[in-house]
Amino acid sequence: MPFDLASGLAERRAAHLYRQRPLLEAPQQPEVTVDGERLLAFCSNDYLGLASHPEVIRAMQQGAERWGVGGGASHLVMGHSTPHHQLEEALAEFTGRPRALLFSTGYMANLAAVTALVGQGDTVLEDRLNHASLLDAGLLSGARFSRYLHNDANSLASRLEKATGNTLVVTDGVFSMDGDLADLPTLCVTARSRNAWVMVDDAHGFGPLGKTGGGIVEHFGLGMDDVQVLVGTLGKAFGTAGAFIAGSDDLIETLIQFARPYIYTTSQPPAVACATLKSLELLRTENWRRDHLNRLIERFRQGAARIGLTLMDSPTPIQPILVGSSERALQLSADLRACGILVGAIRPPTVPAGSARLRVTFSASHSEAQVERLLDILAECWNRLAEEPGTDA
């Protein structure tokens, strides 16, 4: 019997790695209905609370009335419309780069950039904790692909010595499962010493990081000489959907000419671009969102330390609680849920074996009282987990 899918699924279940999709019956907001239950959620990537902002919703409605609901065709055929173009120009200006190119998803933007820039005879070096789409892109490119130790410039340097052809160093800006920042200043100097280019996927940095939400490059004051390929996604702090790559004119033209994940897919609906133009404006100008978010993060970290939780070295809205085994992570997540709190358990292969965690994320739309409630319930559930036989909380 060739395809024994059932036993693969049973094995996954037995290893506590079976995944389920909670059914959300409400907009992205702190208080949600999930599978019929009212819960306080800490697992959205809507970091600035823009996904259900009335002005962003209105921009999308007006965009749909004016431009229809579908992209209609690929960008190179007849799917590149004025809102896409305006958004690309606004994103170029926002990132301080000559041009930006819009993609339908971040996954595709990452596949596009890596596969268009390196191939056989070239080298791609990635942080071992990079997002799956970057790792997949490295494999797909056909270039020599190697992963350096997390955020370790020495490990990168030793791989750079053996690199051949065009060499691309690729890193997340904010690591999506740990919340920590790439040590970009050091990585960029290391890459430049070997004439390698640096590509940063700042999916989680745009919005929360930098004075005007310009992400990790703004945070560290880096320019296009340091980071040649800058990727941002729009489904997180921007609150909408899609992604962009910002860089030189030649980079963007190369992507348009050669990047298969760009060429062979339908453009995103123009109404989404209309909504993103509005959310970009709010993201840049409403600094109170970043300030409030930072206060919540600070408050959570202090409270978590008092409870004795193990957090990561993260200054961002991603605040994982390290638990260890998948079984215990699932148990803690279930205990929180029984008390009205929704936080997802993240397990291998998304994170390394033995490092299952609860990935708590904060949004500017959470209140301080909601964070206090999370901490109170966490204290109760964590103590209960510690008392259970066979657990080591």
Binding-site ranges for ligand PMP (CB under 6 A): 105-107, 110, 131, 133, 172, 176, 201, 203-204, 233, 235, 243
Please check whether residue 199 is in contact with residue 168, taking contact to mean a CB–CB distance below 8 angstroms: yes
Is the CB of 172 or the CB of 218 nearer to ligand PMP? Answer: 172
Is the CB of 83 or the CB of 232 nearer to ligand PMP? Answer: 232
Question: What does the block give as tokens for 303?
Answer: 């409270």
- Spatial CA neighbour of 336 closest among 301, 363, 309: 309
> Can you list the positions of beta strands (E) in 166-274?
167-172, 197-201, 229-233, 243-247
Is 106 assigned to a binding site? Answer: yes
- Spatial CA neighbour of 363 closest among 25, 40, 39: 40
- Cβ within 8 Å of residue 236, ≥6 positions away: 45, 46, 47, 203, 204, 206, 207
Residue nearest to ligand PMP (CB): 106
Smallest separation, CB 101 to ligand PMP (Å) = 14
Distance CA(155)–CA(163), nearest Å, equals: 13
Please check whether residue 118 is in contact with residue 143, taking contact to mean a CB–CB distance below 8 angstroms: yes
Is the CB of 204 or the CB of 328 nearer to ligand PMP? Answer: 204
Smallest separation, CB 100 to ligand PMP (Å) = 15
Smallest separation, CB 176 to ligand PMP (Å) = 4
Is 337 assigned to a binding site? Answer: no
Is 16 assigned to a binding site? Answer: no
Is the CB of 102 or the CB of 321 nearer to ligand PMP? Answer: 102
Smallest separation, CB 240 to ligand PMP (Å) = 10
H or E segment to which residue 291 belongs = helix 287-307
Is 176 assigned to a binding site? Answer: yes
Please check whether residue 65 is in contact with residue 79, taking contact to mean a CB–CB distance below 8 angstroms: no
Instruction: Please list the active-site residues.
Output: 176, 204, 236
Annotated binding-site residue numbers for substrate: 19, 131, 350
Annotated binding-site residue numbers: 19, 106-107, 131, 176, 204, 233, 350
Annotated binding-site residue numbers for pyridoxal 5'-phosphate: 106-107, 176, 204, 233
